[in-house]
């Protein structure tokens, strides 16, 4: 909700050079934060053969079979829950 409010406010200042500079400076920061979070999730969760196999399968499904990210997330959630129950 905060992102929606901020984006609506930024539309009013889309031609302001200072706002453009700030946004251009924040883009790499956002990418870095997402990459760091992804790396941390990878290190913390791919610690056995099941996790590595699940990651590989989901990457193939996402990039080569063009599955929806929601589908991939759902399959991973179900597989993780089933693996935790056994």
Asked if 56 and 72 sit in the same domain, the reply is yes
Do 65 and 81 reside in the same domain of the chain?
Answer: yes
Q: Does residue 32 sit in the same domain as residue 57? A: no
The answer to whether residues 80 and 53 touch, using CB atoms and an 8 Å cutoff, is no
pTM: 0.55
Please say if the pLDDT value at position 86 is more than 70.
no
**Residues with Cβ < 8 Å from 55, sequence gap 6 or more?**
42, 46
Number of domains the chain is built from: 2
Say yes or no: 38 and 56 in one domain: no
Q: What is the pLDDT of residues 34-71, one digit of tens each?
A: 899 888 888 887 778 888 888 888 888 888 888 888 88
Can you say how many angstroms the Cα of residue 85 is from the centroid of all Cα atoms in its chain? Answer: 26
Residues of the domain holding 19: 1-45
Q: Mark whether 40 and 57 lie in a shared domain.
A: no
pLDDT band at residue 33 under the 50/70/90 scheme: very high
Residue 76 tokens read as: 């991973």
Q: Are residues 3 and 26 in the same domain?
A: yes
């Amino acid at each position: 909700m905060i992102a929606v409010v901020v984006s609506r406010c930024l539309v009013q200042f889309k031609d302001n050079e200072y706002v453009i500079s700030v946004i251009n400076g924040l883009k790499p920061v956002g990418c870095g934060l997402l990459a760091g979070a992804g790396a941390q999730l990878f290190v913390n969760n791919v610690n056995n053969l099941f996790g590595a196999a699940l990651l590989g399968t989901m990457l193939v499904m996402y990039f080569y079979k063009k599955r929806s990210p929601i589908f991939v997330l759902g399959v991973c959630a179900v597989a993780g829950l089933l693996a935790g129950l056994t």
